[in-house]
């Protein structure tokens, strides 16, 4: 069985279009701009205690706050490396804000914005990343 010229042309056009669309998809995935949580408008503004209380009392808090930019205000409980804790909230400080982190100590009041990533219900820890000081 032989393939007619029309079918060969359609097949060639399909392969070329597939290569173009596939190349664009790969480019888009690898070169898409990263999310900058520090520059976003915060979806929620609250104290660290209020966020902790929301997770303690509301079972739907994870779906409400996950992957959202949250502006928190509270006192520093401790600093370890690039991680800052405010009670049971642990914030991984963004590399652009490490200079500010060096001048802080436990007990200082701070305002920081970050993205809530996970909640560990066993340890009751709330994890945030990309945290920047406001």
Contacts of 97 (CB under 8 A, 6+ apart): 38, 112, 131, 132, 133
Question: CB-based contacts of 18: which residues, under 8 Å, 6+ apart?
Answer: none
Per-residue pLDDT tens over the stretch 79-128: 998 999 999 999 999 888 888 888 888 999 999 999 999 999 889 899 99
pLDDT at position 51: 94
In this structure, what token pair is assigned to residue 121?
A: 């219900």
DSSP assignment string, 24-85: HHHHHHHHPPPP-GGGSPPSEEEEHHHHHHHHHH-TTHHHHHTT-EEEEEEE--EEETTEEE
Whether the full predicted model's pTM is greater than 0.95, yes or no, is no
pLDDT single digits (tens) 51-70? 999 998 988 888 999 999 99
Dihedral through CA 53, CA 59, CA 62, CA 68, nearest 10? -60
Confidence at residue 1, expressed as pLDDT on a 0 to 100 scale: 60
For residues 3 and 85, the model is more confident at: 85
Instruction: Tell which wins on pLDDT, 33 or 18.
Output: 18
Q: Which of 45, 117, 37, 133 is nearest to 84 (CA)?
A: 133
């Amino acid at each position: 069985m032989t393939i007619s010229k029309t079918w060969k042309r359609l097949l060639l056009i399909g392969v070329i279009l597939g290569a173009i669309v596939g190349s664009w998809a790969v480019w888009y995935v690898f070169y898409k701009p990263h999310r900058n949580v520090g520059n976003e408008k915060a979806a929620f503004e609250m104290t660290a205690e209020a966020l902790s209380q929301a997770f303690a009392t509301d079972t739907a808090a994870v779906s409400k706050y996950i992957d959202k930019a949250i502006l928190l205000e509270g006192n520093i409980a401790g600093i370890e490396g690039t991680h800052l804790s405010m009670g049971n909230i642990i914030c991984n400080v963004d590399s652009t804000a490490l200079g500010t982190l060096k001048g802080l100590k436990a007990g200082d009041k701070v305002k920081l914005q970050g993205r809530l990533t996970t909640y560990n219900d066993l340890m009751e820890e709330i994890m945030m990343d990309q945290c920047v000081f406001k």
